Structure 1
Amino acid sequence: RDRIKTSINISGVLFHFVDTAGIRETNDAIEKIGIERSKQEISNADIVLQILDVTSLNDEDHKKLDDLLHTIKKEDVPVIRVFNKSDLLDSSQHSISIVSRETVISTSAVTGAGLQELKNALIKLSGVTDNYSVYSARERHLNLLKAASLHLNQASDFIKSNNPQLELFAEELRESSDNLGEIIGKTTSDDLLGKIFSGFCIGK
C-alpha cells in the first residue's frame, strides 16, 4: 500500500519509477489511503505503466484507469499497458486482441520476454531522439558537470596547500557531490561527509 520509488538508467536516460497500489473499489480504510496515493502519483506522472496479469484480463481493468485519467484531467498522458506473465500462456493465447490507442506490450518477468520492447517504448515516449546525446546533452546536466569539476579542482587546491583547509575541502566535495546527485536523481552528500569526518579531525 506504500509507494515504492526507484530510479533506473535505461540507455543513458534516467527514469524515476513509482510503484503504487492498484486502482479498485475497496471498503478497507488503509487500502483506500494507498489508492489515493496512487491517484496523486498518476496525476504527476509523465508516463503511466499499467501492469496487468495476462492470464486474468477483463475490460474493467482498463476502464478504471481510463476513468481515473479523465477525472484527473490527464487524458493525454502516455499509457503503456503491460500484460505480464506471458510465459503462463500456451502458444494459441499469445496474441492479445485489444483495440487501444495506448502502447500494448506483452512481457514475462520470468523469461524476460518483452522487456527490451518495454524499454524501447519508454525511451521513445521520453522524447529522446537519435540527434540527442543520451548521456549529457541537456544544458542543465552539462552545467552541473562543469560545476562539479570546478568544485573538485577547488577541493584539490585546498587539500594540497601548505596549510590544508579541511573544512573548505569538505565543503567543496559536498558541493560537487550535490551537483552530480542532481544529474542522477540522488544526492548522497551526507554519506560522503560522514566518511570525510570519520577520517579527518576537523575543528567545529
Structure 2
Amino acid sequence: MMPLLHNYVTVDTDMLLSNPKHLEVIYSMCKKVLTIDAGEDAQFHAAKLLEVIILQCRGRGIDQCIPLFVEAVLERLMRGLNPQPITTHFINQWMNDTEFFLGLHDRKMCIIGLSVLIELPSRPAVLEGVAAQIVPSILLLFLGLKHLYASRLVNKPDLLAHAWAQEEDQNGEKRWAWTEQGRR
C-alpha cells in the first residue's frame, strides 16, 4: 500500500491537499500503525509516508500538522525506552548524533531542522542546554555536504565535462558563464 500512497502524495499533491480530509485519513492510518504492534515493516512505512508528506507539502498549508506527525513517530520511537519528555530526549539525541548524518538527504533535512529550531519564537527549554552546539553542528553538516558534492563530481567525469569559465561580454567586462566541455 505504501507505493500507492507515496505516489498519491508525490504525483498528485494538489489533489491530496484539495480536501483536508484526505490528509487526515492518511495521518490517522499512520498514527494507528505506529500505535499498535503492527510490526517494524509497517511502522517504518508509516513513518516514511509522514516524512514524504512533510517534504512534499511543507509550506503548502500543512505546517500546522507537522508537530502531530513528528509526535506520532517520536511516541513510537520512545515506547519503553526513556522516561524523559520526548522533546528533550529527541533534541539531545539529535545533537549527539549530528556527525552520523551521512547521506545527502539526511544532511539537508538535519540542516533544515536545526535552522527551524533557531527560528522558533518560543524555544523548548532543552535548547538552552544545547544552544552552543547548534551552529557548529550546522557548519559540520555543510562541510559534509561540500565534501559529498565534491566526491560526486570526481566520481562522475561526465559532470566535469561542464565547467564554469570566465569570459568577456560585449562591453569587455568579465563574467562567469556555464560552458560545455569547458569552452563557450
**Aligning the two structures, in what range does the TM-score lie when normalised by the shorter sequence?**
under 0.3
* Structure possessing the higher radius of gyration over alpha carbons: 1
- Normalised to the residue count of structure 2, the TM-score between the two structures is 0.25
* Structure in which a larger fraction of residues adopt strand: 1
